């Protein structure tokens, strides 16, 4: 759901963790995007999210970082899976629950189209 993802991104930015969804999306692009550009995309993602002093640095544990950095020596479309899974679980267990209780989410629900009563479902 593009609107839901956009609202979640706004929420994450307010929580100073917008880089997490950005990283997850970049990993998806690496996996399912143009495979002739895997090496350069992987390097861009590393520089943007994982390198020391990265502009949009994500917080992953040392073991996951080690696996990821080693894998980047020979990049392939799934090279960032460990880091992506780590960030996904962080968002799922922490950020997403807070998002569901946030005014941003509640406002989105209030604006959602509600089926009219009395309309038969097919």
Tens digit of each residue's pLDDT (9 = 90 or more) over 113-122: 665 555 555 5
Q: How many structural domains does the chain have?
A: 1
Tally of CB atoms within 10 A around 66: 12
Structure-token pair, residue 51: 């390198």
Domain that holds residue 24: 16-94
CATH code of the domain in which 82 resides: 1.10.167.10
- How confident is the model at residue 79, as a pLDDT? 98
76 lies in some domain = yes
pLDDT one-digit tens code per residue, 14-51: 887 889 999 999 999 999 999 999 999 999 999 999 99
33 lies in some domain = yes
Give the 3-state secondary structure of residue 102.
Answer: coil
113 lies in some domain = no
pTM over 0.85: no
Q: How far apart are CA 116 and CA 97, in angstroms?
A: 29
Q: Identify which of 68, 63, 66 has the alpha carbon closest to the alpha carbon of residue 23.
A: 68
Distances, alpha carbon 111 to alpha carbons 2, 104, 105, 107, in Å:
15, 11, 10, 6
3 lies in some domain = no
């Amino acid at each position: 759901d593009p609107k839901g993802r956009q609202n979640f991104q706004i929420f994450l930015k307010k929580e100073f963790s917008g880089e997490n969804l950005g990283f997850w999306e970049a990993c998806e692009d690496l996996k399912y995007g143009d495979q002739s550009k895997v090496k350069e995309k992987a390097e861009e993602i590393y520089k943007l999210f994982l390198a020391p002093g990265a502009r949009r640095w994500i917080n992953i544990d040392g073991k996951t970082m080690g696996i990821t950095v080693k894998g980047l020596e020979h990049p392939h479309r799934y090279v960032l899976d460990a880091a992506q899974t780590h960030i996904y679980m962080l968002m799922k267990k922490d950020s997403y629950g807070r998002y569901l209780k946030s005014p941003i989410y509640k406002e989105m629900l209030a604006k959602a189209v509600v089926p009219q009563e009395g309309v038969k479902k097919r």
